Structure 1
Amino acid sequence: MTKKKPFPLRIDHELYAVLEQWAQEEFRSVNSHIEYLLREAAKRAGRLGKGKTDQKRS
């Protein structure tokens, strides 16, 4: 099991509402949806791949 590093995140209320609805539609918590979106962005940017932690999460 991968250890997760907790950290505070300040986010605009409007953006949070969008993320909250989006996460609900994807059957995820807001936290796991933010992690999913960041992971996908890192993959597309070529920053996450072979030799790095690259586990599918929901």
Structure 2
Amino acid sequence: MNEDRIKGKWKQLTGTMKEKWGKLTDDDLRVAEGNAEYLAGKVQERYGLARDAAEEQVREFERSL
């Protein structure tokens, strides 16, 4: 799914993202609003991951859609 489609379905996807990354807050997801780089940064911060690992998790999530 490309980034434009993700942005268009962002509100529907936030529930799925909260299931996957329960430590993310509603505010985190609202601010991210389709920005994969920001989302990866928040995943990195909340879960104490290396940047590469967080980015890979976000890419895997995008591929799963």
TM beyond 0.5: no
Q: Which entry has the higher C-alpha Rg, 1 or 2?
A: 1
TM-score range, shorter chain: 0.3 to 0.5
Q: Which has the higher contact order (CA 8 A, sep 6+)?
A: 2
TM-score, L = length of structure 2: 0.35
Structure that is richer in helix per residue: 2
TM-score, L = length of structure 1: 0.38
